[in-house]
Amino acid sequence: MSRITEQFIRKIPKTDLHLHLDGSLRLPTLIEMAKAGNIELPSFEEAGLNELIFKPKYKNLAEYLAGFAYTVGVLQNRENLERAAFELAEDAHAEGVRYIEVRFAPQLHITHGTETGAVVRAVNTGLERAKKHLNASIAENDMPFEYGIILCAMRRFNRYMSPYYERLFARSGKTGQRYIFARASLGLVKEAVNLRDEGLPVVGFDLAGEESGYPAVHHKEAFQFAHQNFLRKTVHAGEAYGPESIFQAITECYANRIGHGTFLFCEAAIKLKSIKDKKRYIAQLAEYIANQRITIEVCPTSNLQTIPEFSTLGDHPIQQMVDNSLSVSVSTDNRLVSHTTVTNELLLCSQHLNLTATQFRDLVLAGFKRSFFPGPYSEKRAYVQRAINLYDGLAKVHLG
């Protein structure tokens, strides 16, 4: 893989399927928005925020997620949401990314004066405005910028995380938290389907947040609704829990893709006592995922930052995923929080993994092939073929 250069990676068309809006703000924009909204930050200097909040390495996932209190805090009005979406599209396009799926949890951005639809429309306005601007002139050896929107439900939350959650807790009285969490996800997926049917490019439904103690099956009704209404599904699973979490996401929540899947091959992470032969369970699960072409959205830098056992990409199971013929797409997760780009993620893979040229090509093109593209399948096929032709043409020039 020594021939794969940063120049080549920058030139090829790329995707970012696992991309959180609230984790991908420009740092100067975050500071500017905080000042304008009188929102207190630990520092109003970029260096200070990078030292205190957006670090190169974190103790655990909880510390990694702490910074979202500030990014979500500034995205509490439609103007800021639209701007953040526009700038994210610009940043992705600048490094050769031609398709993104922007995910966020609208319920975290609902204020006393806005509702889910307004939040999603604001993000879509920013992305659509960027798309028109970026596609105003397309070179013959390029392809148009496209995007989809994925709405995230939260595995758990508390009443103080947004006015929406506060109202939900108040209306639910003494009802248990599990019911409240499930009610929020069902309400969100119904909004997602309505907005899609309205014509917005809402292409998928996701479940994010703390895995341990908050299994995806608690949100089964929401995923059943998505499934019955032909909305694609992705679930954060195997990021901070074992293979059973991934199995549950696929079998109980009908996941078309899995976010992270980091502990797929970890026998020690299996907690269910009913699984006696752990090695066989993992082998069968991996084979099922491979056969069904359930794509794993791998976010290397993010995982290296939050999992103490990982010191280099060689410790990450992405090589094992590729070797087991899984469909794998590389994403950033959070461009700001992880200080990364798709170019950087792919460069890491080329430098630290033992990939053939064909495997690297598959890694790049999987994002196009397994995207939740918002248009008809015929349009997606043409779009994917354009990406393939561009990649192969550049490979001939740069790789020989």
What would the two tokens of residue 337 be?
């929080």
The pLDDT-based confidence of 147 (bands split at 50, 70, 90) is very high
192-236 pLDDT, tens digit each: 999 999 999 999 999 998 888 899 999 999 999 999 999 999 999
Number of domains in the chain: 1
In angstroms, the CA 332 to CA 347 distance is: 12
Nearest 10 degrees: Cα torsion 302, 303, 309, 313:
-90
How far CA 36 is from CA of 33, 155, 354, in Å, comes to 5, 32, 48
**Nearest of 2, 1, 15, 7 to residue 397 by alpha carbon:** 7
Is 239 among the catalytic positions? yes
Question: Is residue 400's pLDDT more than 90?
Answer: no
Q: How far is C-alpha 21 from the chain's CA centre?
A: 9
The pLDDT-based confidence of 58 (bands split at 50, 70, 90) is confident
In a domain, 237, yes or no: yes
230-253 pLDDT, tens digit each: 999 999 999 888 999 999 999 999
Cross-strand pairs, 147: 100
In angstroms, the CA 361 to CA 139 distance is: 22
Residue-range definition of the domain harbouring residue 63: 6-399
In a domain, 393, yes or no: yes
In a domain, 1, yes or no: no
Rg (CA), the chain: 20
CATH of the domain at 290: 3.20.20.140
Q: Which of 239, 244, 297, 345 is catalytic?
A: 239
